[in-house]
């Protein structure tokens, strides 16, 4: 019977941890005559904090009831729910932790900085490559940005971007692997 509770606890904690590390990124794109702007941000999840608060309270009550059977469970009541409670407090009130989970990035590109356009065939992505010389620096920064869209919109999004690109910029169709971080 105790093993079932251990498995349930493990599954719950695994889901909480994975929700904190695998957050949804919100993306916004703005197209203009001069170029395009790409912004992305993550919202800080509220439900894991509520879950940890309730988990600490419920497990504390369970350990106190278990202490009526064996007083050594009082030590467990301090360590288990106390540790969960301290984790909740450190997550809820840590400014750096909140900033780490609520990042905001905004990038602007001129049309002549785009070097390639790719229509990804196995995902709902149109990708563009860029090459930019940053202000105050002598070297060129290269990279790529994914534009997420619906499968039926890929061709129209790519055609829209193609109309603004320089004549020599290649447009290819390719497969994309899922990045492993």
Instruction: Provide the residue range defining the domain that includes 29.
Output: 2-100
Q: Tens place of pLDDT for every residue, the chain, 181 residues? A: 567 777 788 887 777 676 655 667 788 888 888 888 988 887 777 777 888 888 888 888 888 888 888 888 788 777 888 888 888 888 888 888 777 767 778 888 898 888 999 988 888 888 888 888 777 777 778 888 888 888 888 889 888 888 888 888 898 888 877 655 4
Are 90 and 125 contained in the same domain? Answer: no
Kindly state whether residues 64 and 142 are assigned to the same domain: no
Looking at the structure, tell me whether residues 16 and 87 fall in a common domain: yes
Rounded to the nearest 5 percent, the helix, strand and coil shares of the chain are 45, 30, 25
| The token pair that represents 107 in the structure block | 């990038």
E-only strand ranges, 125-168: 125-133, 140-148
The reply to whether the predicted model has a pTM over 0.75 is no
Q: What integer pLDDT is reported at residue 146 of this predicted model?
A: 85
What value does the CA radius of gyration of the chain take, rounded to a whole number of Å? 25
Half-sphere exposure of 26 (CA within 13 A, CB side): 8
């Amino acid at each position: 019977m105790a093993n079932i509770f251990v498995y349930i606890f493990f599954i719950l904690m695994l889901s909480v941890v994975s929700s904190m590390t695998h957050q949804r990124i919100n993306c916004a794109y703005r197209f203009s005559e001069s170029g395009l702007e790409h912004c992305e941000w993550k919202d800080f999840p509220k439900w894991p904090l509520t879950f940890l608060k309730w988990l600490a309270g419920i497990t504390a009550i369970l350990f106190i009831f278990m202490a009526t059977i064996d007083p050594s469970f009082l030590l467990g009541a301090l360590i288990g729910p106390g540790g969960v409670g301290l984790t909740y407090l450190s997550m809820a009130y840590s400014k750096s932790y909140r900033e780490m989970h609520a990042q905001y990035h905004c990038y602007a590109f001129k049309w002549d900085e785009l070097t390639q356009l790719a229509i990804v065939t196995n995902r709902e992505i149109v990708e563009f490559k860029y090459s930019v010389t940053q202000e105050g620096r002598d070297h060129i920064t290269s990279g790529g940005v994914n534009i997420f869209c619906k499968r039926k919109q890929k061709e129209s999004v790519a055609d829209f971007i193609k109309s603004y690109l320089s004549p020599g910029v290649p447009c290819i169709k390719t497969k994309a692997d899922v990045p492993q971080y």
